[in-house]
Amino acid sequence: MMAEISSLRTAIETYLHDGDTIALEGFTHLIPFAAGHEVIRQRRKDLTLIRMTPDVIYDQLIGAGCARKLLFSWGGNPGVGSLHRLRDAVENGWPGPLELEEYSHAGLANGYVAGAEGLPMAILRGYVGSDLLKHNPMIRFVQCPYTGENLATVPSMKPDLAVIHAQKADRKGNVLLWGILGVQKEAVLSAKRSIVTVEEIVDDLKAWPNACVLPSWALSAVCCVPGGAQPSYAHGYYERDNKFYRAWDGISRTREGFEAWIKRHILDTEDFSSFQKAFREPAVGGVR
Amino acid sequence: MAASEYSTSEMMTVEAARRLKNGAVCFVGIGLPSTAANLARLTHAPDAVLIYESGPIGSKPRVLPLSIGDGELAETADSVVPTPEIFRYYLQGGRIHVGFIGAAQIDRFANVNTTVIGDYARPTTRLPGAGGAPEIAGSAGEVLIVMRQSVRAFVERLDFITSVGHLNGNGARARLGLPGRGPVAVVTDLSIMEPDKSSNELTVTHLHPGVSQEQVREMTGWPIRFAENVQETSPPSDLELVALRDLERRTAVAHGENVGVGA
């Protein structure tokens, strides 16, 4: 079964349901912002969110009321500071309570690998001495049957839907990505369904041997969304919009400021290209 | 500022950089550790190998990364591998000599907190969380910590141990059976602390030029111990200062503003 090449709206309508567990991955690079916006636009609810680094993209989803639970290992605005919407949810329960299941990077990365492998759990040498053990009962230990060593385990990550952004797809829906890869490949292969947004669709990927290519038949949908990782970056296409990450600190600091931004840029826009238009036009008061 | 004058922050970064040996394979945290590790690479340690958790191995960034996954890290790396390989093959596989990390809070046994201030379920301040640190702290051959000194950061009791240092001291870490030796030095803007060989308690071994024991006591949330012969840290050389300022200037130009804010 080849991936469908479809619009992002159709892909989210088809493959994401209220109550699903979803993983939007991208380690600073290739963060699928357009897809995150579409989730908010379609007002999905009660989602369990998985992401190693829930940065601005999950701050938006959490503030917009899409999430009931978060599995993560580092939640901040990289290079800037706190995520105010995440903190408001954790510290004050706004816009609703947010359950946390907290890991380390090694734990979540291994959890995705195990999910992709079809195994129920991952084994790692980790967490010893950390209070994460006291607050996340899903981190457990197992004794190695060969050496007797006590090793940590985490459950495998098995999202209903994984979403990533990549540089290119071909017309069959094979996807090529390069640069910092994070856990994108593992997230896609751990998920029941997957959507990949890409910068462009080309006749020939011209992929070198050993390139990171996700085969079309392992994906559910491929959507051409140029700029779909902005304000993060797409290696070879555009740079990270560091100014926006700094601006987000102010936009998201108050509930009112956040809601106004989400309304103007996401709820009141049709799709990602109309978001980009709204984003370029300064709003009243000059904050875009 | 003339090269011979320097800030306490520059002293901290320069001294942290000196602690990284040439040829060392270093797992680098973003922010202060990344600044120090790159300064080391640009001065006495050109063959230090910088590994970032997002995947770059052997990065030689021309400007400091603003985030842990900046494109600059990938473009200047010997190789970029998926994040699981960094943690599974390189860190857990025992190939990292030095883990270089920062922290929001630290205690006398160099355990660190980057998770919460207050109760976990109802925190007064929710911090970003663990990131790569718990396994870096466990599996890197040794750990260097760089952070500014204050009573809010150097606390009597941590609300949360995110990453283990020497636990309760007196060999407690060794009894946990962790592969790495744990923290070997904490470099601050006032002093250098090293764990005592038997108690493992952080002990001030060096004061930076012009800093008194009294100042260090005031900026530490527990009764800090001093070594019998506290040394004075060598001030930054002109070479070190020029290299650091050039790096920060290039970074400022590349990123626009707000240079050196850690993630």
CA distance A50 to chain B (A): 14
The full set of domain ranges for chain A reads 4-103+158-280, 105-155
Provide mean pLDDT across the span B164-185: 96
Provide mean pLDDT across the span A139-162: 98
Q: Say if B180 is an interface residue toward chain A (CB within 8 Å).
A: no
The CA-to-CA distance between both ends of chain B, in Å, stands at 28
Q: Of chain B residues 191-250, which have a CB less than 8 A from chain A?
A: none
Q: Say if B67 is an interface residue toward chain A (CB within 8 Å).
A: yes
B182 has pLDDT over 70 = yes
Give per-residue pLDDT as tens, B218-240. 999 999 999 999 999 999 999 99
Whether B67 sits inside 8 A of A183 (CB atoms) is no
For residues A12 and A183, give the distance between their C-alpha atoms in angstroms, rounded to a whole number: 21
Catalytic residue numbers of B read 53
Query: What is the token pair recorded at B130?
Result: 């663990």
Whether A129 sits inside 8 A of B123 (CB atoms) is no
Whether A78 sits inside 8 A of B132 (CB atoms) is no
The pairing of beta strand A221-224 with beta strand B25-28: unpaired
Whether B129 sits inside 8 A of A126 (CB atoms) is no
The full set of domain ranges for chain B reads 8-255
User: CATH: 3.40.1080.10, 3.40.50.300, 3.30.479.30, 1.10.10.10. Which one for A4-103+158-280?
Assistant: 3.40.1080.10
B262 has pLDDT over 50 = no
Chain B residues with CB inside 8 Å of A28's CB?
A: 54, 67-70
A151 has pLDDT over 50 = yes
Q: Say if B69 is an interface residue toward chain A (CB within 8 Å).
A: yes
Q: Say if B94 is an interface residue toward chain A (CB within 8 Å).
A: no
Whether B80 sits inside 8 A of A180 (CB atoms) is yes
CATH of domain B8-255: 3.40.1080.10
B261 has pLDDT over 50 = no
CA distance A224 to chain B (A): 22
> How many other CB atoms are found less than 10 A from the CB of residue B118?
13
Q: Which helix (H) or strand (E) holds B42?
A: helix B32-42
Whether B55 sits inside 8 A of A182 (CB atoms) is yes
> How many other CB atoms are found less than 10 A from the CB of residue A284?
7
Chain A residues with CB inside 8 Å of B102's CB?
A: none
- Which pLDDT score, from 0 to 100, does residue A282 have? 66
Whether A126 sits inside 8 A of B138 (CB atoms) is yes
Label residue B263 by pLDDT band (50, 70, 90): very low
B203 has pLDDT over 80 = yes
CA distance B213 to chain A (A): 31
Q: Interface pTM (ipTM) of the complex?
A: 0.95
Q: Which helix (H) or strand (E) holds A5?
A: strand A4-5
Label residue A1 by pLDDT band (50, 70, 90): confident
Tell me the C-alpha to C-alpha distance, in Å, between residue B207 and each of B48, B104, B227, B233: 26, 22, 11, 6
Whether A51 and A162 have beta carbons less than 8 Å apart is answered as no
Chain A residues with CB inside 8 Å of B128's CB?
A: 74-76, 82
Give per-residue pLDDT as tens, A112-132. 999 999 999 999 999 999 999
Pick the closest to residue A30 from A202, A214, A279, A246 (CA basis): A214
Provide mean pLDDT across the span B139-146: 98
A86 has pLDDT over 90 = yes
Give per-residue pLDDT as tens, A185-241. 999 999 999 999 999 999 999 999 999 999 999 999 999 999 999 999 999 999 999
Whether A104 sits inside 8 A of B255 (CB atoms) is no
Whether A28 and B68 have beta carbons less than 8 Å apart is answered as yes
Q: Say if B57 is an interface residue toward chain A (CB within 8 Å).
A: no
Total H helices, total E strands in chain A? 10, 13
CA distance A121 to chain B (A): 15
For residues B248 and B257, give the distance between their C-alpha atoms in angstroms, rounded to a whole number: 11
- Which pLDDT score, from 0 to 100, does residue A284 have? 52
pTM across the whole model? 0.95
Q: Which candidate in A86, A94, A128 is best for mutational testing of the B interface (most B CBs within 10 A)?
A: A128
For residues B83 and A30, give the distance between their C-alpha atoms in angstroms, rounded to a whole number: 14
Please give the interface size between A and B, counted as residue pairs whose CB atoms are below 8 Å apart.
Answer: 185
